[in-house]
Chains A and B, each alone.
Chain A
Amino acid sequence: MLEALLVMALGAVVLGAALGYAAVRFRVEGDPLVEKIDAILPQTQCGQCGFPGCKPYATAIAKGEAEINQCPPGGEEGIHKLADLLGREFKPLSAEHGIEKPKSVAVIDEQACIGCTLCIQACPVDAIVGAAKQMHTIVAKQCTGCELCLPPCPVDCISMQPIGESVESWKWKYPVFKINPTQREAA
């Protein structure tokens, strides 16, 4: 009887120690779910979801404090991906957070820019170059199209321009077989 108890107790101690060691040794830094959600979000950092960036929104989704349909730049596809990841129901994009728009970049009308630096302070990805009383310009390659530079501009010289299709970025369309009217239908 005593031996059995001792054996069980010893087993418990050994396993507990092993688990405890593993918990410390193989500790996962950060919340893996937040990272996974953040990887799906488009990183526009526009704040349309009501959070100050993609990461805070991801954290809120992971905690269950936010819905998955608050990200207009991610669009329907993003919502589908989040729904798949989290095992939630798909919901259409919430209208109060905005609508899905074609991908655009901000363009500064350099003639009108007065060099106030307000847009530079608003840009979440530091994609605007300029200095006080000097003309500003946008590094188009790094612009996420978040539109956060539009409201602070005192002279309204920033506009959003949709990114056009080029031969390099053109995508093959989904094959659609055209049904030709048969003779019977035509008659």
Chain B
Amino acid sequence: MTALQRLFKFNGGVKPAYNKEASTGLPIAVAPTPTLLVIPLHQSIGGPPRPLVKAGERVLKGQRIGDADGNVSSAVHASTSGTVVAVEMRLMPHTSGLSAMCVVIEPDGRNEWIPRQPFDFRSASPAASRDFLRDAGVVGLGGAVFPSHLKLNAGKQGKLDVLVLNGAECEPFITCDDVLMRERPEEIIKGAVIMREMLSAGEVLIGIEDNKPAAIAAMEIAARAANRVAGANVYKVGSVPTRYPAGGAKQLIRVLTGIEVPHGERSTDYGVQCFNVGTAYAIHEAIELGQPLISRIVTVAGNVGQARNYEVLFGTPMKDLVALCAPLPDSDRLIMGGPMMGFRMPGDDVPVVKATNCVLVGSTALFPPPPPEMPCIRCGECAKACPADLQPFEMYWFSRAKIFGKAQEYNLFDCIECGCCAYVCPSRIPLVDYYRFAKSEIWAREVEKEAADVARDRYEFRLLREEREKQEKAAKLAAKTAAGREKAAAALAEAAKPAATPEEDAKKALIAAALERARTEKARVHPENTADLTPEQQAEVTAIEARRAEIREMAKPHLRPDD
């Protein structure tokens, strides 16, 4: 028996049209390698990795091209073998439309792997296993791309009660986890076995929405096999009611275990950790096959002729991927993610990254422009729909009025941006846009404040240092002059007997003596030759002077300039 007996509920949530059938009809196909791969270096939460390759270098499939920047970061690898064409700024799959550092690789078509070594995590230390996963670039594939090695830490107690595998996949159109669970359930369970051992977890609960019976059946077979190996009933599949957002980490934990993780605390403090099923698959590939994370399953759906799931190499341009699905002619936009939480892409040549679970092709007919926003009527529907038990209308007013402190008091940062509030709002207010605005403003302020605090500290330290230097200088000078005075006094005492003369007089006497010495010296060196003359000599000198004067008088007309 692998099914879970008792389930709990979370508040709120909505039931949008699921639109999942279109992309589950066909099995996963491998997307062809494109002519150019653009691999962004920053694909996870945390610091942007440092590039390890230069233009012109040849890289192998799975070769690390970006090294994790510190522990809160994750490495990036070449998706196939080929030549690095450039390491440059390229348009990112991000709403901002800004560019970031990317490694551009021209594939050589040979698909040559690096030597792949399975990692023996059982004999390695937990820290070494975590480092291995960081360098294998494994991040959460549910969409948040949080580095997995940071989550594979059992916390203070050193063990967990429950490891939750998230296969709920509640967002409309997206089926990448569904098909992965249908087609590769054993590999997912193998990943779960590794994670369970690393976390010393008790049981593993796999939560899947009940609109995916095929996935539930496949996972149950795999779980049963794993239970036989483990000799106990530890791997359980929970079929959770279909209600958006049942796939939110906190919501799924609540449904499966009944534990409500409070504001500002971590689920590990309550003995629970949650991973996406795709992440479990990636961990299996990294540890048991030695393959770093270089591809993922991506759903292509929406305004296309044939929606389908593809295994896509990271760096594949979205337009190449979408072209495989025969997009309808009126398609005018690409959305990364689903219609509830997805982001509109700034162009169609942005690459597929680790966060890309779905590329949704949109058109005006499929997603009509939002109707005009009307004033809030305080109906409270948003609070009823909020799965995080917040008061969206309060947060909306304070965000709209830019009173961010108050918005934060209403726990704005517990908002998971699921969009339920905006979905039910009768005034059609784009509530989530206001929350995102408020959140990014608050973050920016936080960064500014930190910078200001650093500047204040450095400025105060500089003032302190200047003051200290001044004092040191003064002390030095005082010591110097004191020493000089002592010397002078000693010299005076030796020269003139009155040793008891006041300091002033001693100085004056010293100066006078020095002047006298200088005068006599000068007289001694340069004696005047006209002194001490005889009367005859004097008369001769006078005669010579008179002659000189006469000659000067005669020379005057010649000296005058003739105009």
Q: Which of A43, A54, A170, A175 contacts B96, CB < 8 Å?
A: A170
Q: Are B440 and A171 in contact (CB under 8 A)?
A: yes
Residue A179 lies at the interface, judged by CB distance under 8 Å to chain B: yes
- A40-77 toward B: CB 8 Å interface, digit per residue (1/0)? 01111100000001110000000000000000000000
Q: Are A42 and B452 in contact (CB under 8 A)?
A: yes
Q: Are A125 and B98 in contact (CB under 8 A)?
A: no
Q: Are A171 and B458 in contact (CB under 8 A)?
A: no
Residue B509 lies at the interface, judged by CB distance under 8 Å to chain A: no
**Minimum-distance CB pairs A-B, first 4:** A43-B452, A175-B433, A43-B455, A170-B96
A41 to B96, CA, bound (A): 30
Residue A26 lies at the interface, judged by CB distance under 8 Å to chain B: no
Q: Are B373 and A126 in contact (CB under 8 A)?
A: no
Q: Determine how close the nearest CB of chain B comes to the CB of A37; give it in whole angstroms.
A: 13
A41 to B439, CA, bound (A): 22
Q: Are B437 and A175 in contact (CB under 8 A)?
A: yes
Q: Are B462 and A125 in contact (CB under 8 A)?
A: yes
Contact flag A167-B440 (CB < 8 Å), given A45-B459, A125-B459 = no
Residue A83 lies at the interface, judged by CB distance under 8 Å to chain B: no
Residue A183 lies at the interface, judged by CB distance under 8 Å to chain B: no
The 14 sampled A-B contact pairs (Cβ below 8 Å) are: A41-B452, A124-B459, A125-B459, A127-B458, A142-B454, A167-B94, A167-B96, A170-B96, A170-B98, A171-B444, A172-B95, A172-B440, A175-B430, A175-B437
Residue A165 lies at the interface, judged by CB distance under 8 Å to chain B: yes
Return chain A residues, CB-CB under 8 Å to B463: 53
Q: Are A171 and B430 in contact (CB under 8 A)?
A: no
A62 to B210, CA, bound (A): 64
Q: Which of A54, A142, A177 contacts B458, CB < 8 Å?
A: A142
- A153-176 toward B: CB 8 Å interface, digit per residue (1/0)? 000000000000111111111110
Question: Which residue of B94, B369, B441, B456 has the most chain A CB atoms within 10 A of its CB atom?
Answer: B456
Q: Are A171 and B441 in contact (CB under 8 A)?
A: yes
Q: Are B94 and A177 in contact (CB under 8 A)?
A: no
Q: Across the A-B interface, how many residue pairs have beta carbons closer than 8 Å?
A: 74
Residue B372 lies at the interface, judged by CB distance under 8 Å to chain A: yes
Residue B436 lies at the interface, judged by CB distance under 8 Å to chain A: yes
Q: Are A54 and B440 in contact (CB under 8 A)?
A: no
Q: Are B98 and A45 in contact (CB under 8 A)?
A: no
Residue B434 lies at the interface, judged by CB distance under 8 Å to chain A: yes
Contact flag A125-B433 (CB < 8 Å), given A165-B96, A166-B100 = no
Return chain A residues, CB-CB under 8 Å to B100: 166-167
Return chain B residues, CB-CB under 8 Å to A42: 448, 452
- B463-475 toward A: CB 8 Å interface, digit per residue (1/0)? 1000000000000
Return chain B residues, CB-CB under 8 Å to A43: 451-453, 455-456, 459
A13 to B117, CA, bound (A): 84
Residue B190 lies at the interface, judged by CB distance under 8 Å to chain A: no
A169 to B451, CA, bound (A): 14
Q: Are B440 and A177 in contact (CB under 8 A)?
A: no
Residue A137 lies at the interface, judged by CB distance under 8 Å to chain B: no
Residue B20 lies at the interface, judged by CB distance under 8 Å to chain A: no
Residue A144 lies at the interface, judged by CB distance under 8 Å to chain B: yes
Residue A38 lies at the interface, judged by CB distance under 8 Å to chain B: yes
Return chain B residues, CB-CB under 8 Å to A41: 452
Return chain A residues, CB-CB under 8 Å to B243: none
Return chain A residues, CB-CB under 8 Å to B458: 125-127, 142
Return chain A residues, CB-CB under 8 Å to B99: 167
Closest to B443 in A: A171
Residue B64 lies at the interface, judged by CB distance under 8 Å to chain A: no
Closest to A146 in B: B455
List which B446-504 residues lie within 8 A (CB) of chain A. 447-448, 451-456, 458-463
Contact surface of A with B, Cβ cutoff 8 Å: 38, 41-45, 53-55, 124-127, 142, 144, 165-175, 177, 179-180
Closest to A103 in B: B448
Q: Are A167 and B92 in contact (CB under 8 A)?
A: yes
Q: Which of A45, A125, A171, A177 contacts B372, CB < 8 Å?
A: A177
Contact flag A53-B437 (CB < 8 Å), given A42-B452, A167-B96, A171-B444 = no
Q: Are B434 and A175 in contact (CB under 8 A)?
A: yes
Residue B42 lies at the interface, judged by CB distance under 8 Å to chain A: yes
Return chain A residues, CB-CB under 8 Å to B456: 38, 43, 54
Return chain A residues, CB-CB under 8 Å to B444: 169, 171
A43 to B48, CA, bound (A): 28
Beyond A125-B455, A172-B437: 18 further Cβ-contacts under 8 Å? A42-B452, A43-B452, A43-B453, A43-B456, A45-B459, A53-B459, A127-B458, A142-B454, A142-B455, A144-B451, A166-B100, A167-B92, A169-B447, A170-B98, A172-B95, A172-B439, A175-B433, A177-B372
Q: Determine how close the nearest CB of chain A comes to the CB of B485; give it in whole angstroms.
A: 32
A168 to B373, CA, bound (A): 29
Closest to B92 in A: A167
A141 to B98, CA, bound (A): 21
List which B90-112 residues lie within 8 A (CB) of chain A. 92, 94-96, 98-100
Closest to B48 in A: A168
Q: Determine how close the nearest CB of chain A comes to the CB of B542; give it in whole angstroms.
A: 62
A167 to B459, CA, bound (A): 30
Q: Are A124 and B462 in contact (CB under 8 A)?
A: yes
Return chain B residues, CB-CB under 8 Å to A127: 458
Q: Which of B92, B437, B455, B460 contacts A174, CB < 8 Å?
A: B437
A65 to B459, CA, bound (A): 23
Return chain B residues, CB-CB under 8 Å to A170: 94, 96, 98, 440
Q: Determine how close the nearest CB of chain A comes to the CB of B219; give it in whole angstroms.
A: 36
Closest to B437 in A: A172
Q: Determine how close the nearest CB of chain B comes to the CB of A174; give it in whole angstroms.
A: 5
Contact flag A172-B452 (CB < 8 Å), given A124-B459, A165-B96 = no
Q: Are A179 and B437 in contact (CB under 8 A)?
A: no
Q: Are A165 and B459 in contact (CB under 8 A)?
A: no
Return chain B residues, CB-CB under 8 Å to A177: 372-373, 430
A142 to B462, CA, bound (A): 13
Q: Are B455 and A44 in contact (CB under 8 A)?
A: yes
Q: Determine how close the nearest CB of chain B comes to the CB of A78; give it in whole angstroms.
A: 11
Return chain B residues, CB-CB under 8 Å to A53: 459, 463
Return chain B residues, CB-CB under 8 Å to A45: 455, 459
Return chain A residues, CB-CB under 8 Å to B373: 177
List which B63-117 residues lie within 8 A (CB) of chain A. 92, 94-96, 98-100
